Structures are given as structure tokens and as C-alpha cells.
Amino acid sequence: MDALEIMFGKRSIADKIAESKEGYKEEITEGAREKYVADSLVKRSDKKAIVSDKIGIEKTLVNKTTTNKTDREKAIVKKTTVNRTTINRTDRDNDKADKGKDAVMASGVSTMQIKSVEKIKDKLSKRYIAFDTETTGFSAYNDRIIELGAVIFEDGKAVKSFGSLVNAGKRVPASATRVNNITNDMLADSPKEDVVYPEFVEFLGDAITGDTIICAHNASFDMRFLSATFERLGIDANIKFVDTLALCKKYVTGTCDHKQPTMAQHFNISQQDAHRAESDALVCGGIMAELLKLM
């Protein structure tokens, strides 16, 4: 998202957001953990694997007999305890992910980027939802969404919008306020997460199950925050999205960059309130409509 462009020394938060995108790691699903444990743990004897599911803790012991001295020397016997429900947030933020990952998985939450957008052009031409967030920073797990914006587009036209400030119980640093003009005083009387998100889910409608596609500019940033929030609040979702930033890089040439304000100017889309979620979502939706014409 191009909203947070605050300078820290000679580097901008936008740069840091880009770095955080590189540093995000896809969460390991329960099935993947089970496979990892089963495939990696070996022991010398032929005892059967024992699995205990008491109080949410899974202990897997896999034992294997080695056939020669070399194998015996290489064999390592481990007992691994995996806690199903607890993931250290700091470790997850610091983990590095492969650049090619397209999906962000969480407990009950799945967000998947669609890269072959041309194949769903007809579907998008009929309906999509443009989405944007304003946040307190760039860490999806340590920071919070403080404003949500979304606009439903049908046949390339905006037909319905959603916008709300969110009192997420976290103070807004002055650096963020300088970009989005959202202050702590503004959030003090704003609705809390348990009020805003049920309304937002209702607005999304079948987008929450992946039937209607969502678009966002630098979408991975917004989707990480949305996924983390849904997970924390216990909201199930299976969202499919496209990234207008990636599409602009593919279809738009001759511009100094592909940031949302630059693309809005390129497509002659006016914006009255930049760096506010609902306004940015409206512009993003307009850019998506123009991109569809270029496909």
C-alpha cells in the first residue's frame, strides 16, 4: 500500500513495508506440521508411532531401524512436541518467506492471490470489491488496522461503499498520523473491532467465501493485516484477490512508478481524500476498471 510514506532517516515506511512483505512467512498448517514431524523423526527400533492429542498437544515419535553403520551414524532420534494452538508472534514476524508464495494461511482464514487475471476478466467485469486499509504501522501482528474502506464495483461502476475508523486498542504513532491524518482522539470515540468487523463481513458478502474477487493496490500488505485480524477475532474466511499494483506494472508503461497516486493520475481518476481507506479503495476500484480495458 502506498499510504504509509513516512521518512525514517533516508528510508520510508513504504520501503519498510516492502521489506516486511519479503519477510512474511506463510503459516504452517496443521497437516503440514504433521507431515514434517512424520517425515523427519527417526529412531533405531521398529516401535510404532505414538500420537497423543491430549489438551491440544501432539507428540509424535517415529522410530526406524537402520541397516548399516553409516545409516546408524546418520540417524537422529528426536521427540518433538508441537503445540497446535500457540505460535510465537515475534518469530512469525521475523521469519522469511519465499517471494513466489501466493497464499496467506491462518487458522480458519485463507487468502489467495490470483495472478492469471486475464482468465477471470469476464467475472471481474461484472463485479469486484476494491479494498484498502490504514494502519498504525507495517507489522500485521504487532500493529493494527485503524480504518477500513471497501467499494463494490459492478460493470465497472461503484455502486456501494463501506468505510469506518476502528478503535483497535492501540495508539497511533505520530509518524502514521502525518500520513493518514488519523489521530488518537479520532479513534477514542470510534467503534471497536468487535463492532466494525461483523458489519464489514456482512458488507463483503460472498467475497468472504471467495465468490466475489477483491482487489487492492499492493494487496499483500492489506491482506496480511486482514488475515491476521480475522484470525485474532475468530472470523473464518476464504478470500481471493488480485493486486492492481502488479497489474499496473504489467500493463502500464511510461510512468515514473506504479504507485496508486501515479496510476490515478495516469488514468485521470480524481481523488478527494488521499491516504484514507474508503477514498483509496474507490480509486483502486477505478484503476481496476481501467486495467480491465487493457486486457
- Would you put residue 167 in left (φ > 0), alpha (ψ -120 to 50) or beta? beta
User: Would you please indicate which residues are annotated as catalytic (active-site) residues?
Assistant: 275
Strands (DSSP E) along the chain, which ranges? 7-8, 11-12, 50-52, 57-61, 80-83, 103-106, 109-113, 127-135, 145-154, 157-165, 214-216, 237-243
Question: What sign has the CA pseudo-torsion 112, 285, 291, 211?
Answer: positive
**HSE-up (13 A, CA, CB side) for residue 52:** 10
Q: Give the type of residue at 137.
A: G
CA 32 to chain centre: 20
Q: How far apart are CA 4 and CA 133, in angstroms?
A: 11
Q: What is the 3-state secondary structure (H, E, C) of 217-248?
A: CCHHHHHHHHHHHHHHHCCCEEEEEEEHHHHH
Strand partners, 11: 8
- Most distant CA pair in the chain: distance in Å? 74
Burial class (CB in 10 A: 0-12, 13-18, 19+), 110: middle
